[in-house]
Amino acid sequence: MRAVWASAVMAVALNAFAANPDEAQIEQLMNAPAKPAATPAKPDKTTAAKNEPDSAASLVGQRVAVETRQRGFYVGTLTAVTRETLTLAIELPTRSVSYSLPRGDVASVTAR
């Protein structure tokens, strides 16, 4: 009986080992509960301190490029900065959109 269990565990382990990392990640993402994306993160004093809100606040009113920690990129006019979010006004061909990014996801903010 132990041998059967050991074989089954080995088969599962071998299968997991042989799988492509991307395939394994897809499986993980398919099975994981969806992660909230653009909802503002809970106020976190340490995170807020790390994000240096003052440096971003000095760019309010300017056209900025915001890079996120997931390799995302957004360009627009920085309209508001809070501890939780950065708000950009992005001009689209047909309208202007106000877009908020959680501060926890922001990797860098640079003036354009």
Partner 1 sequence: MKLMLIAYALSLMFVLLMVVRVWRASVLDGVLTLLVPFYFIIAMIKYWNEPDHNIRFHVLGLLVCSGIAFYAATNVARDAIVGSPEQRLATVKALRDQGVAMTPEQEKGLLSDDPAVVMATLQSLDVDDADGADGAAAPPRDAEFENPAPVAVQERPAEIMSYAEAARRATFNRGNYTREAIGVTIDVPAKFRLISATDARRLDQARGRSDDSRGLGWIIHENLALTDPDAWHVGVRWHSDGWVAAAALDPAGLLDVALANKTPTPRVAVSHGDLLGYAIAPQFDGQVLDWAEERVLANSDEHVVDCHAVRLGRRGVVEFTITGMAPKSAALCHTTVRLLATRASFAPGKQYEAAAPAEGLRAPYTIATLATHAP
Per CB under 8 A, the list member of 11, 16, 27, 57 interacting with partner 1 is 27
Per CB under 8 A, the list member of 38, 49, 57, 107 interacting with partner 1 is 38
Q: Does 43 bind partner 1 (CB under 8 A)?
A: no
Report phi then psi at 80, rounded to 5.
Answer: -155, 145
CA distance 61 to 77: 6
Q: Does 69 bind partner 1 (CB under 8 A)?
A: no
Half-sphere exposure (CA, 13 Å, Cβ side) for 95? 3
Strands 96-102 and 106-111: unpaired
Q: Does 111 bind partner 1 (CB under 8 A)?
A: no
Per CB under 8 A, the list member of 11, 14, 16, 90 interacting with partner 1 is 90
Helix (H/G/I), strand (E/B), else coil: 94: coil
Output the smallest distance, CB 49 to partner 1, in A.
27
Q: Does 60 bind partner 1 (CB under 8 A)?
A: no
Query: What is the four-CA torsion angle of 74, 76, 81, 86, rounded to 10 degrees?
Result: -20
Q: Write out the two tokens for 29.
A: 């993402």
**Which residues in this chain contact partner 1 in the complex, by CB under 8 A?**
20, 22-23, 25-27, 29-30, 34-38, 65, 67, 70-75, 90-95, 97, 99, 110, 112
